[in-house]
Structure 1
Amino acid sequence: MSFLQDAPKLAHPYRNDRVLHAFLGRALPGDRFDALEPDLDALSDYAVMAWRRRELTPRREPELTQWDAWGRRVDRIALTPAWEEGPHITTTHRVLSSGHADSPYARIEQFARVYLYHVASEFYTCPLAMTDGAATALKASGNRELTSRALPHFLSAEAGNFWLSGQWMTETPGGSDVGRTETTARMDEHGQWRLYGRKWFSSAVVGEAALALARPDGAGGGTSALALFYVETKDAQGAWQGVTIDRLKHKLGTRELPTAEIHLDGVPATPVGALDHGVRQITPMLNVTRTWNAVCAIASMARAISLARDYAGRRSVFGSRLIDQPLHARTLADMQAEFEASFALTFFVVELLDRVEQGMAAAHEPALLRLLTPMAKLWTGKMAIRITSEAIECFGGAGYIEDTGLPQLLRDAQVYAIWEGTTNVLSLDTLRAFGPAGLQPMREALDQLLAGHSGHERVAIDETFINAERLLTSLQNDRAGLEACARGIAITLSRVMAAALLAHAAHWASSHGDPRPAAAFRRFLGLGLDRLVVHERSDDVMLAADLASSPEPSTGTHRSFQGA
């Protein structure tokens, strides 16, 4: 019989994740860790089952039935098994509600659950993130009536009582440019607000509720005139009320997630707050939903590396296993180091979110959270694409075959750089986050993390941070130049912060007899922190538009920024 290659097996995501174990060991008291473990074990058991199911059964996607056999408009969506199981998994293991517990560790415990559940959920975590964000926004609004109505459903411990919330913002005129919103809100003869318009992307269309931006009748143009409304999508009999589904989107990835184009034709709505500045009312949810995005991105990295590592121990070529071949081992080691850095930054943001939400933050930490959240989201989004791409290459031709389930890792990863703001949108948001304090909150955090560290590794982190400060200073009167460099600044600062966090984790692990985090720290530094490349603006214009001619040629096309 001819040779048949063993497929990669998914190692138990919790029991075999030393990075998660070490973090929780540092971050949680022993009794909290012990209480959390049964959920982490169970969610990982589910993940292993879901991977095996994916190997044995054809992949399914949601299906929209718009009309029943008798001509009635029903807009019924058939979901995948993982989505049908979502409410039970979510409520049984408190994947969502644990983040709103009255505990200084609420977000840590929540996002540990999310990290292990995400890939197996087939992006059911997307509407969970929207629901978490909606709960956060409603709490911040002070609207007691809506809070008492919606939160018992959003944070329910019972699957039959659990509601999902969508987030209806994107329209055909623009995504990030919400000021061009065309949906209108009108009050009917009974004093009930109703929404009319078209929402171009609705990733939680199966949810029972949504937050939507709309322009009240008679309001002016622009972003400030928009209001934020709460809607419930179906009536007491379960029929859509003023919502029709035009079609489901056919997407590159996240295909199990039913993303829809919808029309609103008089759906009843309740203002969340005042009838203006609706975007401000959304703002409290951004730290939450962007953190979900980053946690899900590192979960995809962990899955890709786990499968690639297992395969490297099974696959033999030229007389030895892949794992024993020096170049392949180095490739896996580089991937692991980048993952550990991404994990460290993401869960540091989770810790900050906990402290800020619980009123336990140090003076500099609210500003630090505002700065690091868009940075962590944009950087991990890019890293997820890079690492999943490298991982499927580790399988050779098998990584390109759809039946293996491996290409899906890369196609799904592409969404992390798009959801909750593209890389460029969040890079510009990072510039806004500097505020009056500039980089001082980050400087304070670095000093705390690196206290007691010395030598060339500390110097490398400090010098890169100083270079970023100098670049910001040099461009303070050149807004266009600053915006052009925003991506390099954000990624460099992300890597600097991640390096400091790795150094801190390595110190803790070494004292407990584990040298691997120190190796990851050294490897990550070796891959470089500085992404501060300043290009000539004239070349930007010429190449971006592919102009036939350009201004006078410069003496150099780019330079690495090393300060004055």
Structure 2
Amino acid sequence: MAATTHTVTNQAPPLVEYDVFTADRALVEAVERHLDPALLDEARGELSAFGRSAGSSQVQEWGVQANENPPKLRTHDRYGNRIDEVEFHPAWHRLLGKGVSAGLTAAWVRPGGHVRRAAAFTVWSQVEAGNGCPLSMTHAAVPALRTDPALAAEWEPRLTSLVYERGLRPAAQKAGVLFGMGMTEKQGGSDVRANTTEARPLAEDGTYELRGHKWFCSAPMSDGFLVLAQAPGGLTCFLVPRVLEDGTRNVFMIQRLKDKLGNRSNASSEVEFDGTWARRVGEEGRGVRTIIEMVAATRLDCVLGSTALMRQALVQAIHHCDYREAFGGRLIDKPLMRNVLADLALESEAATTLALRLAAAYDDGSEQERAFLRLAVPAAKYWVTKRCTPVVVEASECLGGNGYVEESGMPRLLRESPLNSIWEGAGNVQALDVLRAMQREPGSLNAFLQEVGRARGADHRLDGAIKDLLTELADLEGIEARARRLVERMALVLQGSLLVRYAPAEVADAFCASRLGGDWGTAFGTLPHTLDLATVVERARAAL
């Protein structure tokens, strides 16, 4: 029993039993903007149901359980047989199963699939980010396999299935499968052309035997993997099934699981190949080109994942400040706290609007939109994932000491926040990829500038930023050393253009004044006090 002196007051209740999708006005409006009207009613219903599930106390508890009980590696069975299995807590399987059944691996075969999936992925990643890895890998494997029609015909129906089947069995015996990926090695990291894993051709056309290692192999419990290895014709992409057609297990030795800062519920591993059977995907020597579409899709998921983390950190901060009273009133009504919350809300809405615009470009699929994605995806991946950690840190501070305590959930968000800026190519890789795209595919820059130019004349600060960007693009001297600065400006101008066109005037005005107009300090909460910050915060608060 509690002591009579111990009465709990002035504490915010848990943020549960709410619709994660409907509460996010920026996300709802983006879906309505980019989705075919004929699909809207169905999509709203699906996403709202998924949002209610994500906001339920039961599913929130699964997220906690999955992180408190990380996966375990079992290299051998009790008799000494090598099995290389990863065991997960039941909560992990429940989360992953719900993600699969919600279509998070089926975007390529559904009308408006990428916009619907992007919204659902943003909702689900607010519950538990770790299960997003296998969902992302499985989703992204489809375009890589489509370079080989025979492989695509065999595997795509399983990859895009809405059925989650755990356990290692031949893929042909399962209604749905998951995919992982193994690209990097100890000596190369992002420089995959330095890979040393060898692929020796076998008698059957298109089949090989692999020998080597992978320093990071995502989702090692999966049914198949796309990996890069050196074939006689150069670096090549291969499909490695976990279990062979006759039921025997392929040689896939999991040496250990990574002990990571965050993403604790998800298994990342080091694996060895030694006579491992594989099928070639695409042509020999064109491994990077074959797998690049997979990389682009997972980079968009990095944007979505960071967007989700920022949104969840923001709503937790707003929820706390809505209930917490100090110095004679609610925190949310204090001018300085309102400034902080509004600043965080701008970052969240800008990320959401950009992420869904990229998803819509995937659904469109035209040459113009593909050119736009070539530049916009790495730029967005660079900037949005970089903004995630400072946003989460500031949102945690809104809770005071409570935000530093594990039970608040904020430390888990904070540990997760740096991941997406590292995964699928860290900041320098993204910035250099933008330069590479501009140099090798000039159409990508034209498409980007056309997109940005659609908002010209609507805001003088945006117009000035576009002019400055064009000046910077015209100066090629020392461009590699200033690539980060250039890509940051590109991302901000793109976000500003989208917000000016689509967001409420209060949001667009505040973004352009601070991010583009220079009326902003070095920390959050330094927006011009003359802006309508109460409206910005209330929009982010929405239906919480």
Q: Taking structure 2 as the reference length, what is the TM-score of the superposition?
A: 0.86
**1:372-521 equivalence runs, <5 A:** 372-434=376-438, 435-437=441-443, 439-450=445-456, 453-454=457-458, 458-474=459-475, 476=476, 478=477, 481-506=478-503, 517-521=504-508
CA–CA separation in structure 1 for the residues paired with 2:425 and 2:75:
31
**1:82-481 equivalence runs, <5 A:** 82-97=91-106, 99-101=107-109, 103=111, 105-139=112-146, 141=147, 143-160=148-165, 161-188=175-202, 192-216=207-231, 218-219=232-233, 225-236=234-245, 240-356=249-365, 361=366, 364-434=368-438, 435-437=441-443, 439-450=445-456, 453-454=457-458, 458-474=459-475, 476=476, 478=477, 481=478
Amino acid at match of 1:441: A
Amino acid at match of 1:101: V
Contact kept, 8 Å, 1:83 with 1:122, in 2: the verdict is no
CA–CA separation in structure 2 for the residues paired with 1:471 and 1:184:
43
Please state how far the C-alpha of 1:135 moved relative to its aligned partner. 0.8
Corresponding position: 1:522 with 2:522: no
CA–CA separation in structure 1 for the residues paired with 2:383 and 2:285:
33
1:73 corresponds to which residue?
A: 82
Cα 1:378–1:77, aligned 2, differ >3 Å: closer, same or farther? same
Please state how far the C-alpha of 1:378 moved relative to its aligned partner. 1.0
CA–CA separation in structure 1 for the residues paired with 2:517 and 2:177:
44
Deviations 1:205-260 (A, max 9, x none): 111001111112x45xxxxx101111101235765311111111000110101001
Cα 1:308–1:227, aligned 2, differ >3 Å: closer, same or farther? same
Contact kept, 8 Å, 1:82 with 1:121, in 2: the verdict is no
Please state how far the C-alpha of 1:397 moved relative to its aligned partner. 1.4
Relative CO higher for 1 or 2, CA cutoff 8 Å, sep ≥ 6? 2
Amino acid at match of 2:150: E
Q: Which moved more, 1:341-350 or 1:434-443?
A: 434-443
Contact kept, 8 Å, 1:82 with 1:122, in 2: the verdict is no
Please state how far the C-alpha of 1:113 moved relative to its aligned partner. 1.4
**1:521-560 equivalence runs, <5 A:** 521-529=508-516
CA–CA separation in structure 2 for the residues paired with 1:91 and 1:348:
23
Cα 1:518–1:43, aligned 2, differ >3 Å: closer, same or farther? same
Please state how far the C-alpha of 1:155 moved relative to its aligned partner. 0.9
CA–CA separation in structure 2 for the residues paired with 1:253 and 1:302:
18
Cα 1:80–1:460, aligned 2, differ >3 Å: closer, same or farther? same
Please state how far the C-alpha of 1:73 moved relative to its aligned partner. 2.1
CA–CA separation in structure 2 for the residues paired with 1:439 and 1:187:
40
Find the partner of 2:15 among 9, 14, 21: 9
Please state how far the C-alpha of 1:27 moved relative to its aligned partner. 2.2
Please state how far the C-alpha of 1:386 moved relative to its aligned partner. 1.6
Please state how far the C-alpha of 1:122 moved relative to its aligned partner. 3.6
CA–CA separation in structure 2 for the residues paired with 1:117 and 1:38:
16
CA–CA separation in structure 2 for the residues paired with 1:167 and 1:90:
19
SS of residue matched to 2:516:
coil
Amino acid at match of 1:156: S
Where does the alignment leave 5 or more consecutive residues of structure 1 unmatched? 220-224, 507-516, 532-564
RMSD (Å), alpha carbons:
2.1
Contact kept, 8 Å, 2:461 with 2:517, in 1: the verdict is no
CA–CA separation in structure 1 for the residues paired with 2:60 and 2:158:
30
SS of residue matched to 2:209:
strand
Contact kept, 8 Å, 2:256 with 2:269, in 1: the verdict is yes
CA–CA separation in structure 1 for the residues paired with 2:158 and 2:454:
41
Q: Which moved more, 1:58-67 or 1:45-54?
A: 45-54
CA–CA separation in structure 1 for the residues paired with 2:500 and 2:53:
33
Cα 1:130–1:72, aligned 2, differ >3 Å: closer, same or farther? same
